[in-house]
Amino acid sequence: MPNSTPARPSDSLGTAFVERNLDLVGKLYQRSVYPSVLDVAHGKRLSAPLVVDLDPTTVCDLACPECISSQVLHHGRIGQDRIVRLAHELAESDVRAVILIGGGEPLLHRSVGEIIEVLHGAGIKLGLVTNGTQIHRHIDQLAGMLSWVRVSLDAADADTYQTFRPSRSKRSAFPQVIENMRLLASRKKGRLGYSFLLMQRFDEAGNVTASNYDEVHQAGVLARDIGCDYFEVKAMLDQDHYTVNQRAEDIEAVEDQIARLRELEDDSFHVLHSSNWQAVRRNADSVQPKDYHSCAVAELRTTITPTGVFVCPYHRGNPKGRIGDIQQSGFSEMWSSADTTVIDPSEDCRFVCARHATNQEILLLPRRPEPTDLAEDFDPFI
């Protein structure tokens, strides 16, 4: 969204929920969110971030060659006693939403069910990013207590899944994941998403040796059949979070399949583009210049992992982006002493950032009159 036409509350009130959910700038203008955003815009620190990305463990049961988190995998987990205490600390803070994510596979942590129950009981909204292999083990909590679950599949059949998301047991986990998703779809109160990361492999001559590009339509049809609320297409990133250049013919082939999937959309099923795929299809530069030197969103969101607390998931594992350690102190103590300005986006975030427009919007707020028509709260995952 261009800076010259910022999202206003009135723009969002009449739109579908799924569209508002994608409007990260519009989310700033929710009634209970805007005061904190305005404080941050004026350089104030918050007593707690509004959203926490929580990595319970760095362990994963898959061995994906293209995993963007490969450098931070298998470095331990937050201890069972400590993570339960942390859940209570978050419950007692002003945190509004927690996303269980990784790093590793969050559902492999033995205390994840108790964590969900504590946070849900405190009124904190919960989201989950998972590979789906363990959904059945925590079905009661996931079905009844989460606002949304997004499952990373990146394939439409077992063979392609095993190529790009191989199991450490050497047997494709695809059938189990699909069965788990059907189970969750039949019981869920929140939203369920099917995430499809576009991936290719090339030989030294530049020839494609493996690809899932031709399975977008098939995967979207499967997502609808499972009972997913949405199907999301994402562009592949390199280890430094830059979008990988795509060939024009491949972009066209994907877009053709997405167009066919849009014919299946209705009030209960939507096809989404991630911000990085939107950049690819516009042929945007993989380098996204930024003219600001601190990230306002780092005060609104933070990322807690077994190896430290980081300003955001893009900088997970980056020593420069490390702002604390909940293994050494309580959450409130850690946050009060954290320096969320350690990252300079103009130098350290030259990749396409999903919250670049949010940062641009926040920079403009001190020069604007306060809005009189804030939106009623609709999504705390800003």
Reported as a single tens digit per residue, the pLDDT across 262-295 is 999 999 999 998 777 777 777 767 889 999 999 9
Query: What pLDDT is recorded for position 54?
Result: 98
Residue 128 token pair: 């989950």
**pLDDT at residue 15 greater than cutoff 60:** no
Mean pLDDT of the region 208-231? 97
pLDDT band at 73 (very low <50, low <70, confident <90, very high): confident
Q: CA 127 to CA 133: how far, in whole Å?
A: 17
Cα distances (angstroms) measured from residue 273 to each of 40, 221, 312, 354, 358: 29, 16, 21, 12, 18
**239 closest CA partner among 110, 13, 68, 85:** 68
Query: What pLDDT is recorded for position 103?
Result: 83
Cα distances (angstroms) measured from residue 108 to each of 141, 177, 258: 14, 14, 33
Mean pLDDT of the region 368-375? 93
Which amino acid appears at position 379 of this protein?
D
% of the chain at pLDDT higher than 90? 78
Residue 101 token pair: 């994510």
CATH number for 46-367 (one of 1.10.940.10, 3.20.20.70, 3.30.200.20, 3.40.640.10): it is 3.20.20.70
Indicate the pairing of strand 191-197 with strand 51-54.
Answer: unpaired
Query: What pLDDT is recorded for position 4?
Result: 36
Query: What pLDDT is recorded for position 18?
Result: 63
- Three-state SS for 149? strand
Mean pLDDT of the region 171-187? 97
Mean pLDDT of the region 59-87? 90
Domains of the chain, by residue range, sit at 46-367
Sequence-ordered list of residues with C-beta below 8 angstroms from that of 254, at least 6 positions apart, any chain: 198, 213, 216, 233
Write the pLDDT tens digit of every residue in 41-64.
999 999 999 999 999 999 999 999
The values of phi and psi at residue 273, to 5°, are -105, 130
pLDDT band at 168 (very low <50, low <70, confident <90, very high): confident
Higher pLDDT, 102 or 94: 94
Mean pLDDT of the region 320-331? 96
**pLDDT at residue 365 greater than cutoff 70:** yes
